[in-house]
Amino acid sequence: MTATAAQRERISFRTSPASYRHWSFEVNGDVATLKMSVQGNEGLGEGYELKLNSYDLGVDIELADALQRLRFEQPQVRTVIVTGGIDRVFCAGANIMMLRSSKHGFKVNFCKFTNETRLGIEDMSENSNKSFLAALNGTASGGGYELAIACDKILLIDDRNSAVSYPEVPLLGVLPGTGGLTRITDKRKIRRDRCDVFSTVAEGIKGKRAVEWNLVDAIAPLSKWDEAVQSTAREMADALPKRDAKGVELPHLVSTEEDNRIDYKYVSLEFDDAAKNVRLTITAPDSCPTSAGDAYAEGANWWVFQAFRELDEALCDLRFNRPDIGLILLRATGSAATVFATDHLLTAADHWFVNEVKHFVKRTLKRFDLMAKSLYAIMDEGTNFVGSFLELALACDRTYLLNDPETPVQLGVTAANGGVFPMSNGISRLATRFLGTPEMVDDVLAKTATDASGLFDAEEADDLGLATFAPDEIDWEDEVRLAIEERASFSPDALTGMEANLRFAGPETMETKIFGRLSAWQNWIFQRPNAVGQRGALNCFGSPQAPEFDYTRT
């Protein structure tokens, strides 16, 4: 079976330390060590070998899981050492043979997922009382160095051989695909001319020059390597407050599948393959904890945490396993009172677990923002678009609101809509929506409430600018049906480009640059003959053939 055939099979995003193949996870007090020892013959697909600690999606799924467990199961950890378990090799980056044999859409989604994981590291450094030390025990190239620069500090072994490098341009004809070029300029703020040299020297840069150019923070000789790693980690940990708390175990999610449905406890998906859409519903229960202590006691079963874990997994599944689905029809249902109470807790409580859940919801909403699928919010009878559920609607490309007094929609604003869950551009979805009319943000936030007495009707929501269209009960079915059918008739390539351009108005950030370049430049380069043609660089890599380029600049 080829790698592409394997990728057509269902990819699972559920794993745990007991089943890791490529990472070891060790915790020693307030310092944890994530060690990467990729098993060459244990790739997610067949037809390639994961040599030199190169990775595929399966390796990164394990890393993403390990980071989640560090957040929730190990709150006492203050510093995480990320290192390699193979002698003289930290990580050789994404596996080239895997990329060569993968379909275009898989390559792009792979880059998107790995970068979301690296952004997750940076989010932990900012919000989870954890710092990260990349202990480069050997060469870090391509995606391996990109993993390193997601960390707070980089320590490189000085053995006269180990280097950091971006070999993608000179060897592969593509870009450092998970934010590499953006991070060396915007995060490490390296001079442009040095970035140019670094990104075109396949063998990379090592030793004192790597420190001088700020590619790494320090070097240490082999004879003092272990001592340097531990002393640096200790220094980083001591710079953060201690957190004495018992962690929350993360069990596997449970779902059932039957015909065209997938059902979790709080999230369900109903597929219409012929129409190329999915009806995604998230539901709030009738009751919920109202104190941080009670939410902590429920742990992973706290409904908002479980619901957004389910949503997060569903979004990953849609990306990789359902490429033909082009439109997500979002409905939010259940108790508005529950969402009001939960949002109040998320925004007001001073508790490490509640804080971690809040940031997890933020990251899941960002993953929703970044879906390369059209997003329509369907606000009809029985729906609940309050607070954090309203954020999902604001993330959509369009919102269709039923304006019928006989079948009211639950609509409400909470403190969660005021910027608690910022987008990749660093501002709220309301501020992004009303970029040209910022006074409307104030109008909406003036409706902020803490309980169901703050609900308002469809007509008022329409006046507040929260609906794209608000048909009455007579026109509702026809208008929604025609909108869905029309969307399905458009070019998916044009829609993907249009949506990616429109969703992130406002400030430019490192994060929007990363995904903008991934959506545009890398997406384009991955399809060009210079990279993937018969004599393209990706196809010639590792073979006696030299690539042949069309040197016409576009």
- The two tokens of residue 157 are 């072994």
| Residue-wise pLDDT tens digits, 333-349 | 999 999 999 999 999 98
- pLDDT for 177: 75
User: Other CB atoms closer than 10 Å to residue 508's CB: what's the count?
Assistant: 13
Cβ-based neighbours of 106, under 8 Å, separated by 6 or more: 4, 7, 320
Reduced to 3 states (helix: H, G, I; strand: E, B; else coil), residue 427 is coil
Q: Which residue has the higher pLDDT, 527 or 2?
A: 527
Enter the pTM of the model.
Answer: 0.96
Q: Which CATH class is domain 256-495?
A: alpha beta
Q: What's the pLDDT band for 7 if we cut at 50, 70, 90?
A: very low
| Residue-wise pLDDT tens digits, 73-117 | 999 999 999 999 999 999 999 999 999 999 999 999 999 999 999
| Residue-wise pLDDT tens digits, 204-261 | 999 999 999 999 999 999 999 999 999 999 999 999 999 999 999 999 999 999 989 9
Which of 141, 154, 41 shows the shortest CA–CA distance to 91?
Answer: 141
| Residue-wise pLDDT tens digits, 448-481 | 999 999 999 999 999 999 999 999 999 999 999 9
* Cα three-residue angle 480-109-358, rounded to 5 degrees: 75
Superfamily of segment(s) 3-238: 2-enoyl-CoA Hydratase; Chain A, domain 1 (3.90.226.10)
- The two tokens of residue 73 are 């199961």
Is the pLDDT reported for residue 15 higher than 60? yes
Do the two domains 3-238 and 256-495 of this chain adopt the same fold?
A: yes
Q: What percent of the chain has pLDDT over 70?
A: 99
Listed by start position, the domains of the chain span: 3-238, 256-495
Cβ-based neighbours of 496, under 8 Å, separated by 6 or more: 372, 519
d(CA 220, CA 50): 28
| Residue-wise pLDDT tens digits, 252-311 | 999 999 989 999 999 999 999 999 999 999 999 999 999 999 999 999 999 999 999 999
d(CA 98, CA 108): 13
